[in-house]
Amino acid sequence: MTDDGVRPARVRMLHLGAGAFFRAHTAVFTEDAHAGEPAGERWGIAAVAHSSPAVARALRARDGRYGLLELGGGTARGRVVGAVREAHVAAEEPAAVRARLADPEVTVVTVTVTEAGYHHDPVTRRLRAHDPDLQADLAGDPHRTAVGLLVAGLGDRAAAGAPGLSVLVCDNVDDGGPLLAGLVAEFCARTGRGALADWVAEHVRFPTTVVDRIVPAPDERARARVREHLGWADEASVVTETHRQWVITDDLVAPRPAWERAGALLVPDAAPWARAKLRLVNAPHTALALLGGLRGHTTVAGAMADDELAAAVTALLDEELVPTVPAVPRLDPVATARSSLARFADPALAHPLAQIAADTSLKIGPRLLAPALELRRAGRAPTGIGAVLGAWVYALRHATDLPRDPHARRLVAAATTDDPVRAVLGLEDLVPAELGHDRAFLALVTEAHDRLVTDGTPREDTSWT
C-alpha cells in the first residue's frame, strides 16, 4: 500500500513530540481516518520536535512524507504517509508553535514526549519544580518543556478568543489526560495565571488515551529496509509491527479526526484500559529489558529466545500482573498477555532493550510498583516483581553504559551504599513510601539482588548498548 497522493489541504492538528512513535501510530491513524476523502476533509498535522532539528529537517526534506514498513508474522506492508504538513523545532521556533496552538483551525493537540517529558514527580504527579528546564519555563521564555510551551500557547489562544481544543496524551503514563491537566493547572498557579487556568478548565479537554504499537528507534538498517521494500528513501522512515491500538476516552470538546474509522475505540473511560495495557504489555517489556540486559541480550526477541527468561516473564504475567488488571469491557487479560509474549518473540523487529530500559525510574511506578503495592495490601508476596527490581538495583550498582535516566546520578549513588535496595527504594519521589518501607517487600527485592551477586549469572561488563 502506498500514498494515494492526496494530501490534507490545511493544518488542523498539532503534535508535540515528532518521534518515531508518532510517525508510526498517531499520524497513521489520522491519515487512515479520512483515507479516500478529498484534501479538504483530511487532517493535516503540524509536527513539533522538542529540540532535535534532525527530525524536522528529515520531514521537511520530503514535504512531510515518510516511509512506513509494517512487519510481523512473516509479512511486510509498506506505504508512504503524508499526513504531516509542517515540521517545527520548539527550541528554535517557539513563536511558530505557539501560533499554531492559538490557531482556531487547530482543534486537536496530541502529545508523545516520553515519561520524562512531563517533568513531574511520578509519586505525587506534580511538577518537579526544581528541574532546571522547568524553572526556566516558569521564569518565562524560552519554553523548554512541553507543559510550559502548551501553557504559553493556550494563553495565546485564550487571548485571541479562539475556541477550545482537545489535548490527548499518547505516552505510556497512567491516566495521562488528568495528569497533564493537573500539570497545566499547577503551572498556571505557579506563574500567577489563575484566569488562564479557569479558561483551560472551561474550554480544554484532556481525555485519557491508551496507545499500543511497538516502534523500535529507527536506525540506518531500518531505513534501508524501507528503501528496499518501497523504493522510497528518506531519513524519517520508520519500521513497526502490524499490531496497533488506540483507545480514547470519548470526552473531546472540539472537532477531531474520525479515528474510529481507522480502528480506534472511543469509550466512556479509557483509564482501566490504560492500567491494563501498562501491566500486560509495558510491565513485561520492562522485565525483559532489565533481566535480559543482565544476561547479555540486546533485543526483545533475543531475550524471549532465552527459555529461562521467557518462563520467568510468563510467570510474572500469570501470577502477579494478570490478577491485578482491572475489569475492562471486551478485554481478556489472559489472551492479551499471551498476545504480548507472541509479539515480543517475533524476530522481525530488532527492538533494543536499551530503548525500553531508558527512564526506568519513571516507568516502574504504573508498570511494577502499583501492582506490587496492590498485591502487598492483599497479603501476597510479589516475588516476580521483586526479582525485576532486584535486577534494576544490581544494574545500577554494577553495570556499565546504563540506559539514560533523568535520575541516574541519584540512583547510582543510592545503589552504591551499604544497603542498595533500601536506599534505592527509599527515594520517595520515585517509589511510594508504603512500598519503600515495607520490610517484607524490601526483603524480597534484597534476596533477588543478592542472588544475582552470588550466582555469577550477570556479566560484570553488562551493557545495554
Q: 258 and 289 share a domain?
A: no
- Asked whether residue 464 is domain-assigned, the answer is no
- pLDDT on residue 464: 52
- pLDDT on residue 369: 98
Look up the CATH number of the domain holding residue 22: 3.40.50.720
Q: 348 and 255 share a domain?
A: no
- Asked whether residue 133 is domain-assigned, the answer is yes
- Asked whether residue 282 is domain-assigned, the answer is yes
10-residue mean pLDDT profile of the chain (465 residues): values are: 77 97 98 95 96 93 97 92 97 94 98 96 94 94 91 97 97 96 98 98 97 96 94 96 97 95 97 97 98 95 97 98 94 97 94 96 98 98 98 92 92 97 98 98 97 69 53
Q: 251 and 224 share a domain?
A: yes
Which residues form the domain of 363?
Answer: 271-455
* Contact (CB, 8 A) for 446 and 415: no
* Contact (CB, 8 A) for 133 and 145: yes
- pLDDT on residue 132: 94
Picking from 19, 192, 32, the residue whose alpha carbon sits closest to that of residue 116 is 19
- pLDDT on residue 462: 56
Last residue of a domain, one of 236, 267, 298: 267
Counted domains in the chain:
2
- pLDDT on residue 1: 42
- pLDDT on residue 74: 86
- Asked whether residue 343 is domain-assigned, the answer is yes
Q: 103 and 72 share a domain?
A: yes
How many C-beta neighbours within 10 Å does residue 163 have?
A: 12
Q: What is the rounded CA–CA span in Å between residue 25 and residue 93? A: 25
Q: 22 and 48 share a domain?
A: yes
- Asked whether residue 1 is domain-assigned, the answer is no
Q: Which three cell numbers stand for residue 23?
A: 510517525
Q: 200 and 251 share a domain?
A: yes
Last residue of a domain, one of 239, 267, 295: 267
Q: 246 and 302 share a domain?
A: no
Q: Which three cell numbers stand for residue 429?
A: 519521589
β-sheet with 66-72: strand ranges across: 75-81, 66-72, 238-241
- Asked whether residue 279 is domain-assigned, the answer is yes
Q: 213 and 283 share a domain?
A: no
Q: 250 and 344 share a domain?
A: no
Q: 59 and 166 share a domain?
A: yes
- Asked whether residue 157 is domain-assigned, the answer is yes
- pLDDT on residue 298: 95
- pLDDT on residue 129: 86
- pLDDT on residue 458: 54
Q: 223 and 170 share a domain?
A: yes
- Asked whether residue 305 is domain-assigned, the answer is yes
Local structure of 334: helix, strand or coil = helix
- pLDDT on residue 328: 93
**DSSP one-letter code for 352:** B
Last residue of a domain, one of 227, 247, 267: 267
Look up the CATH number of the domain holding residue 386: 1.10.1040.10
- pLDDT on residue 393: 97
Place of cell 513539533: 48
Q: 293 and 186 share a domain?
A: no
